[in-house]
A = this chain, B = another copy of it.
C-alpha cells in the first residue's frame, strides 16, 4: 500500500499508533529505574534509548511528560540519576506490564515482581533480572516543541555486563544475554545473529 500525508491523517488513532510505530524498524527494549527523594522506586519500559556517542558515552531517550513515563521524568530530574536495564526474554512480559498506568504510590517493581537492586552506592535502582545494566547520570533535557516530547541525554557512568558476553575486541553478545527487541507498540523479538561484518572500505 502507498500512503501520503492525507491518507496518514485519516488513520484511526490506535491503528495509526501501531502502524507508525512499526516504521522505524526494530527498537531497543530497556527498563528505566528511578526513585524519588524518599527512595520510592519506579520502573518503566522505554523503546527509544539511542546511542549518541561513545566518547563521552552518551545515550538519549524520549519520554512523554503526560504519559506513564511522567514519574520517571520527575524522578530522574530530581535525583540526577537513573538506570537502564536491557530487557531479556525471561522478563519481557513483566517489563511490558510496567507500562500500565499505576498510581504514583505503587512501585512497578512490586506490581510486576521484578527485583530492585541497589548497587555500590548508586542512587537509583537497577533490575536484578537484567543481565546488562547501566548507571546513568542525567546530562541534558531537550524539549522538542514540534510534538511536545522530552529528549533526555544521559552519560553512562556505571556498566555491569557478564564477562562471558564480552568479545576480545569489545563487542558484547547481546543475543547471548537474551536481549529482546521491540517492534510497533507491543511485539517482542529475540535476535538471531546473521554475521558480524568487517569495517567497510571502498573496494
Contacts and interface: CB of A to CB of B under 8 A. Distances in A.
A134 B11 CA distance: 17
Given A2-B159, A174-B22, A93 B197 contact: yes
10 contacts: A2-B120, A20-B156, A23-B159, A47-B51, A53-B147, A58-B147, A106-B202, A181-B189, A186-B199, A189-B191
Interface of A: 1-5, 8, 11-30, 47-60, 62, 84, 86-87, 89, 92-93, 96-103, 106, 111, 120, 132, 134, 139-140, 142, 144, 146-147, 149, 151, 153, 156-163, 166-167, 169-172, 174-175, 179-181, 183-184, 186-202
Nearest to A106: B202
Contact of A189 (B28, B103, B193): B193
Given A146-B153, A189-B194, A171 B58 contact: no
- Find the residue from A47, A163, A169, A170 having the highest chain B CB count within 10 A: A170
B181 A22 contact: no
B200 A1 contact: no
A28 B181 CA distance: 10
Contact of A26 (B101, B106, B191, B201): B191
B196 A134 contact: no
Contacts of A17: 54, 170
A202 B190 CA distance: 26
Contact of A159 (B8, B53, B103): B8
A106 B21 CA distance: 34
